[in-house]
């Protein structure tokens, strides 16, 4: 190739590169302008009707647990501020970390807590955190921390994971008005199976429930955060929630039906033999010891549809022996003391063959007529 040919080739290359660049640049500029236009339109819509905007743009959330035999507890958002603000439906019992230190002030927190402690923690398939966003939502992992041991420690959140949902389905549009975030905390050490930058899909498994950070029970603590507002959002619709005209849950009534508000995190749980999930051999002399926060009037059985079996009180079963009621003083972490009520007995009866290897849920009815959380028994062959 002579010098003239080489020069022509060089000039042609520059011309071609410049032409390609000039063709590509308008496309990039066009996308940028379109994104800015979308942001501007969203901002205008938000300013005119912020609550209506959230109802139209926010995707409906599901429960973030793979299995629905959880024990949910919720409290209106309130990290570090006092007094605790009004709960969305004015029901003051719907609080967790409900520690009163004066007549008007409480230590509260903001978020939904999904406790699954009463499940067998190591059972295969149990206690999985899943993506709660629906199938048509565009969701990416934007934060993950898996550096904390699966024990209670001073780090309040422990292992955590954040999902960001892009409301206009464009992950390149990271304007605050376009990003709805959900953060999960207290995850099990080493259980996070996604990475920052991963796109995730509806009901995809993300991690496992743990006990890392500032919690005494295995729990998923959930923050819903709309960055445009710079506040944590209460996802429940109610007359005292000023931010919503539509629930953020796909089925709020279902969430409330599965949720037991009375028994709060770190407090007052019904246990059986000091556990939430007990496996026993099929033996006539099995010992059952129920511990509750209130005096026990009846022990009820739950059927396969989740309903209480009518007119059945285990305490009236003729096959139980050595029935004993007693009361103990329990000292919780931090020195808080409370009464614990116990009922124990031996059940002199072999299990019905149809119930072997099945999870049988029990709960107690207190002398006040209140129902507890559930505990589970699985009877196996000798």
% of residues, the chain, pLDDT over 70: 71
The answer to whether the Cα torsion of 141, 143, 149, 150 is positive or negative is negative
Q: Indicate the domain borders of the chain.
A: 71-258, 271-380
Q: What is the CATH number of domain 271-380?
A: 2.60.40
Within this chain, domains 71-258 and 271-380 share the same CATH topology: no
Please report which confidence band the pLDDT of residue 349 belongs to, taking 50, 70 and 90 as the band edges: confident
Q: What is the dihedral of CA 223, 229, 233, 236, to 10 degrees?
A: -150
User: Residue 360: what pLDDT?
Assistant: 85
Q: What is the CATH number of domain 71-258?
A: 2.70.70.10
Residue 33 has pLDDT above 90, yes or no: no
Q: Return phi, psi of residue 208, to 5°.
A: -125, 150
As a whole number, mean pLDDT of residues 228-243 equals 83
Question: Half-sphere exposure of 47 toward its Cβ, with a 13 Å CA cutoff?
Answer: 6
Q: Which residue has the tokens 């992992």?
A: 141
- Taking the model in full, what pTM does it have? 0.66
As a whole number, mean pLDDT of residues 291-320 equals 90
> What's the DSSP call for residue 203?
T
């Amino acid at each position: 190739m002579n010098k003239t040919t080489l020069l022509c080739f060089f000039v042609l290359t520059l011309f071609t590169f410049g032409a390609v660049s000039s063709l590509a640049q308008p496309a990039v500029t066009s996308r940028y302008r379109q994104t800015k236009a979308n942001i501007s339109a969203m901002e205008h819509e938000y300013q005119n009707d912020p609550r209506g905007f959230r109802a139209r743009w926010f995707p409906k959330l599901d429960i973030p647990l793979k299995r629905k035999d959880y024990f949910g507890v919720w409290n209106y958002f309130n990290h570090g501020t006092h007094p605790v603000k009004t709960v969305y439906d004015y029901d003051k019992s719907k609080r967790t970390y409900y520690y009163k230190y004066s007549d008007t002030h409480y230590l509260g927190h903001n978020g939904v807590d999904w406790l699954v402690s009463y499940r067998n923690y190591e059972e295969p398939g149990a206690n999985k955190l899943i993506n709660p966003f629906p199938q048509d939502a565009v969701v990416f992992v934007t934060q993950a921390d898996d550096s904390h041991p699966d024990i209670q420690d001073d780090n309040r959140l422990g292992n955590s994971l954040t999902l960001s949902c892009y409301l206009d389905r464009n992950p390149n549009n990271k304007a605050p008005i376009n990003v709805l975030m959900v953060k999960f905390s207290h995850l099990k050490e080493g259980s996070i199976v996604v990475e920052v930058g991963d796109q995730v899909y509806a009901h995809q498994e993300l991690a496992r429930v743990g006990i890392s950070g500032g919690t005494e029970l295995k729990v998923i603590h959930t923050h819903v955060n709309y960055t445009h507002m710079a506040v944590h959002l209460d996802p429940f619709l109610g007359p005292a929630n000023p931010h919503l005209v539509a629930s953020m849950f796909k089925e709020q009534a279902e969430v409330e039906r599965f949720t037991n508000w009375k028994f709060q995190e770190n407090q007052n749980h019904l246990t059986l033999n000091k556990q939430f999930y007990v496996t026993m051999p099929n033996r006539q002399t099995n010992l059952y010891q129920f511990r509750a926060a209130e005096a026990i009037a009846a022990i009820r059985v739950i059927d396969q549809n989740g309903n209480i079996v009518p007119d059945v009180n285990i305490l009236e079963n003729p096959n139980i022996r050595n029935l004993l009621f007693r009361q103990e003083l329990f000292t919780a972490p931090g020195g808080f003391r409370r009464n614990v009520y116990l009922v124990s007995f031996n059940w002199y009866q072999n299990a019905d063959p149809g119930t072997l290897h099945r999870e049988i849920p029990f709960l107690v009815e207190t002398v006040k007529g209140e129902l507890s959380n559930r505990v589970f028994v699985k009877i196996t062959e000798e």
